[in-house]
Amino acid sequence: MTAPALPFSSTVVDSILFRDAFGTQKMRDIFSDRALIQRYIDAEVALAKAQARVGVIPAEAAEVIARESKIERIDFDHMRHETDIVGYPILPLVHQLVEMCGEAGRYVHWGATTQDIMDTAVALQVRDALDSVAGDIRALRGILRDLAKKHRDTPMAGRTHLQQALPVTFGYKVAIWLAMFDRHQQRLAELRPRVALVEFAGAAGTLASIGEPGFAVQKAMAEELGLGVPATTWHVARDGFAEAVNLLALVTGSLGKIALDIMIMASTEFAEVYEPFVKGRGASSTMPQKRNPISSELMLAASKAVRQHAGLMVDAMVQDFERATGPWHAEWIAIPESFILSSGALHQARFALGGLIVDEARMKHNLGITKGLIVAEAVMMGMAPHIGRQQAHDVVYDACRTVNEQGGTLAEALAALPAVTEHFDRAAIDRLTDPANYLGLAPAMVDRALALSAKVDA
């Protein structure tokens, strides 16, 4: 017996192999063909209801349009075939809606143009998608808050230019991640009213086909759909959608930064953190010992892809006159893929950070591999009040050279210098060279970040 054919896809966002690595079912559902066509129908029905409220079309006609315009009655194959010919899906849809609605069909799409319906439908999709992203970010921030609080005082090496610089705490590092996503949460809230806007303006955007009641119809249609009313027609003013995708680029860019930190810290030489253990996850086909940071790799890949789409959306803003000749079409590619990839990256982040394994002992070990040199600044600043800042620098510099050339620890090298022992006994030297005693305001910064984060949702 022949097995039934599997549905195959040619892109990762719909692939039976990769779709859950790069996206989520919830976001795919928002941007699915069926959901998009339903949003087209929602826009057409809302338009009819709005026009009936204002008195542009008979109320009875609007009732029939609302009752009879059902996606279950759509012939999708015929709609696809006609869309291939027309180039846009709205006229093929209207043909079927008119037939469904009988005599009332004459009032379907009254005074509208194709882009009115398509833009309004995408505004509905983007509104729902932003709400989903906002929920994911809120959940991720909760994970980051818990992680920052838990590791507020966990010392580790801070690194600049991939070199050990000064001691920090792991909670401090996580607090920096948290603050980024607090800002993204705020950006999402600020963005939503600018992008969740109805579009109904007619052929050249002037509402000439409706005339005097045009603004009233536009407002009523927006109310039917739960959208805002724009100041002007936005057929060729695409800054709202461009801002939405560029915000996703910021979100995934932040995820990419976290992913890169995790990947480096999970490397064999660092071994400070690991993604959650799931048997077989991150396994190599040839090296049984491998435990690759898969979620971080996926987050990083998504950040690169969404960044490219952000540029495409900015490019698509450059549109000619009152109806563009083609840049609009680029949005059909960029918007769904950006949201799906972003939701996938956020899902991976919640998994990786929610179960992140932090090896505090290894962090402490790594903090000591420079044999105290990481706190050379602390020693210099500790000695400066006694012998002057520049002389303290020179003394510590000599001690560091001794460690580098002859071995031993910074404490041992300092204890051999009369200029040091004149002012500090061995216990004091040991305190000066203990990295855990030179964390600056890192723990306090965690406290401040946590307090500010709590206010974001207040």
Residue 455 phi/psi, 5-degree rounding, is -80, -20
- Residue (of 404, 347, 401) closest to 370 by Cα position: 404
What percent of the chain has pLDDT above 90? 67
Tokens of 175: 């607090």
370-387 mean pLDDT: 88
Strand 273-274 relative to strand 357-358, pairing:
antiparallel
Above 90 in pLDDT, residue 292? no
**Confidence class for position 323, pLDDT limits 50, 70, 90:** confident
Tokens of 258: 């976290």
Three-state DSSP class for residue 229? coil
CB 285 within 8 A of CB 376: no
Q: Which of 78, 81, 284, 329 is catalytic?
A: 284
Mean pLDDT of the chain: 91
Whether residue 10 lies in the annotated active site: no
CATH fit for domain 19-107, picks 1.10.10.10, 1.10.275.10, 2.60.15.10, 3.40.710.10? 1.10.275.10
Three-state DSSP class for residue 197? strand
285-291 mean pLDDT: 52
Higher pLDDT, 69 or 458: 69
Return the domain boundaries, the chain.
19-107, 114-197+234-366, 373-432
Residues 106, 94: Cα–Cα separation, whole Å = 10
Q: What pLDDT sits at residue 285?
A: 47
**Confidence class for position 198, pLDDT limits 50, 70, 90:** very high
**Amino acid at site 53:** R
**Confidence class for position 16, pLDDT limits 50, 70, 90:** confident
Q: What pLDDT sits at residue 282?
A: 52
Residues 140, 354: Cα–Cα separation, whole Å = 8
Say how far residue 150 (Cα) sits from the centre of its chain.
24
Residues 220, 48: Cα–Cα separation, whole Å = 10
Residues 55, 138: Cα–Cα separation, whole Å = 44
Q: What pLDDT sits at residue 280?
A: 56
Higher pLDDT, 48 or 17: 48
Radius of gyration of the chain measured on its C-alpha atoms: 30
DSSP 73: G
108-129 mean pLDDT: 94
Q: What pLDDT sits at residue 259?
A: 96
Whether residue 161 lies in the annotated active site: yes
Tokens of 113: 């143009």
What percent of the chain has pLDDT above 70? 95
360-377 mean pLDDT: 91
Three-state DSSP class for residue 235? coil
CB 274 within 8 A of CB 351: no
Residues 108, 142: Cα–Cα separation, whole Å = 47
- Give 99's contacts (C-beta < 8 A, 6+ positions apart): 105
Residues 186, 4: Cα–Cα separation, whole Å = 48
Above 60 in pLDDT, residue 308? yes
**Confidence class for position 7, pLDDT limits 50, 70, 90:** low
Above 60 in pLDDT, residue 286? no
164-176 mean pLDDT: 94
**Confidence class for position 288, pLDDT limits 50, 70, 90:** very low
Residues 49, 36: Cα–Cα separation, whole Å = 20
The length of the chain, given as a count of residues: 458
Give alpha helix (H) positions in 196-293. 214-225, 239-265
197-213 mean pLDDT: 90
**Confidence class for position 289, pLDDT limits 50, 70, 90:** low
357-384 mean pLDDT: 91
41-51 mean pLDDT: 96
Higher pLDDT, 239 or 291: 239
Above 80 in pLDDT, residue 290? no
What are the pLDDT digits (tens) for 249-262? 999 999 999 999 99
**CATH number at 373-432:** 1.10.40.30
Q: What pLDDT sits at residue 420?
A: 87
Angle between helices 442-456 and 114-150 (to 10 degrees): 140
As to burial, measured by CB atoms within 10 angstroms (0-12 exposed, 13-18 middle, 19+ buried), residue 71 is: middle
Residues 90, 281: Cα–Cα separation, whole Å = 45
Q: What pLDDT sits at residue 324?
A: 77
47-52 mean pLDDT: 95
Residues 97, 28: Cα–Cα separation, whole Å = 26
Classified by CATH at the fold level, domain 114-197+234-366 comes out as Fumarase C; Chain A, domain 2 (1.20.200)
Q: What pLDDT sits at residue 53?
A: 94
**Confidence class for position 199, pLDDT limits 50, 70, 90:** very high
Q: What pLDDT sits at residue 450?
A: 96
Looking at mean pLDDT, say which of 217-226, 319-328, 400-409 comes out highest: 217-226
- Residue (of 16, 235, 226, 250) closest to 126 by Cα position: 226
56-69 mean pLDDT: 94
Residue 384 phi/psi, 5-degree rounding, is -55, -40
Question: Any bridge partners for residue 163, and if so which?
Answer: 160
Long-range contacts of 425-434 (CB under 8 A, 24+ apart): 432/375, 432/378, 432/379, 432/382, 432/383, 433/372, 433/375, 433/378, 433/379, 433/409, 434/375
Instruction: Evaluate the CA torsion angle 400, 404, 410, 412 in order and state its sign.
Output: negative
Above 60 in pLDDT, residue 68? yes
Q: What pLDDT sits at residue 6?
A: 61
Above 70 in pLDDT, residue 31? yes
